[in-house]
Amino acid sequence: MIFEANDKLVLIGDSITDCGRARPAGEGLFNPYGNGYVNMVKAFLDACHPELAIRVVNKGNSGNTIRDLKTRWQEDVLNLKPDWLSIMIGINDVWRQFDSPKLSEQHVDLKEYENTLKELIEMAFPGLKGLILCTPYFIESNRKDPMRVRMDAYGKVVRKFAKTYGAVLVDTQSGFDRMLETMHPMALAWDRIHPDTSGHAVIAKCFLNAVGCQM
């Protein structure tokens, strides 16, 4: 288990992280963590390691790209002084290129994504005990599908930075690929992006395995 007693874990990302979390910060009473993988991660950390009293904060914002993370990085990451930071971003960076092809100003190309992610990591890294990087994913078994190809390229950037910075890698795409060996994508997510409870459990399981939480 990588976390220590009283560690503060901040998870930042888009709608997959957000999932209806409380504002201004997803923590505290009355189900503030949303109804997705963050809530599951928090619950299992408490259930499996209650003695550690890990503080979990959900800072996901629906619709965000890496550009949006940059605009709120100071307030939502640096000011919170996390011990551990988890980043899962990139889905909308790719998706807008396919669902809004004419709105090029909304597109975040691979180079901008890579440069901005590196910039944000380096801003936060000196103050962290550790970094957790989660790959973006597309719940599609056809690896030649154009959006799957593009998403895999963005995921490759995340894997590269995990090695560069010695970060914990949460390979969500591999988790979904295992499910897709026996399930159709629509059984997990109607749009192949926003998963049902089982899909969020896939992400949570990938996360908890990566951080060494014994369930």
Q: Given 46, 191, 196, 198, which residue is catalytic?
A: 191
- Cα separation, 140 vs 158, in Å, equals 19
Please indicate whether residue 200 is annotated as part of the active site: no
Helices and strands in the chain, H and E counts: 8, 5
Burial class (CB within 10 angstroms; exposed 0-12, middle 13-18, buried 19+) of 118: middle
Q: Which one of 14, 15, 18, 171 is the catalytic residue?
A: 15
CA–CA distance, 32 with 120 (Å, rounded to integer): 26
Distance between CA atoms of residues 32 and 24, nearest Å: 10
Q: Which of 68, 141, 174, 194 is catalytic?
A: 194
Q: Which of 128, 133, 123 is nearest to 13 (CA)?
A: 133
Extract the tokens encoding 163: 């090695």
191 classed as catalytic: yes
Which positions are annotated as active-site residues?
15, 191, 194
